[in-house]
Structure 1
Amino acid sequence: MVAMVVVMVMMVVAMVVAMVVVVVVAMVVAMVVMVVMVVVMVAMVVVMVVVMVVVVMVVVVMVVAMVAVMVVVMVAVMVVVMVVVMVVAMNCVCVFLKKHSCTIAQGCRC
């Protein structure tokens, strides 16, 4: 009888210990899973931030390139207009001088 009671008590103690071990293991596993999930989320946020930075840099580079192209085009147009104006002005001067009996020696190079 005493032996049976002792065996029963030992079985109960063993069951309680087993349950405690299972609960502790489950809690540790849950903690590890949560830590892994947090790390994955942080990594995803970092990747998103990096992608955003890259996109912003690409947009900035594109805008700068567009502005540079526009400036180059404007400068080229201004140079062409200046050359045309100079040529027209020289022709007008030369024609004006020719109308006033200009010679090459007097500096009319048309």
Structure 2
Amino acid sequence: MHFLASSSFSSLVHPTQAVEAATATVVVVVAVVVVVVAVVVVVVVVAVVVAVVVVVVVVVVVVVAVVVVVVVVVVVVVAVVVVILLSPSCSGVTSQG
């Protein structure tokens, strides 16, 4: 009876098993930390890429808007100049001069 109790007690607190359990715990903790850090890095990279894409889209929209405004202004100015040059009052003034 004493032998059985001592053998079961020694198997419970065997130093090698304790070291193995501690090592396994450390490995699991390190693995979880590595996975969490990897997920955070991926999320940050995706957020940065999305932000860059949004900035590029906004810049393209602004550039297109500026080009459209410039084209409209040029068309309006050309139309006004053509109307002024082709108006009868203007041609009459030049013919009288």
> What TM-score does the superposition give when structure 1 sets the normalisation length?
0.71
Aligned residue for 1:102?
Answer: 93
Aligned residue identity for 1:50:
V
RMSD over aligned CA atoms reads 2.2
* Unaligned runs of at least 5 residues, structure 1: 1-8
Q: After superposition, where does 1:1-110 map in structure 2 within 5 Å?
A: 16=10, 20-93=14-87, 96-98=88-90, 101-102=92-93
The higher-RCO structure (CA 8 Å, 6+ apart) is 1
Once the two structures are TM-superposed, the CA of residue 98 in structure 1 deviates from its matched residue by 5.0
The structure having more radius of gyration, on CA atoms, is 1
- Find runs of 4+ consecutive structure 1 residues off by over 4 angstroms: none
Classify 1:98/1:81 alpha carbon distance in 2 versus 1 (closer, same or farther; 3 Å): closer
User: Percent of counterpart pairs with the same letter?
Assistant: 44
**Size of the alignment, in residue pairs?**
88
* Unaligned runs of at least 5 residues, structure 2: none
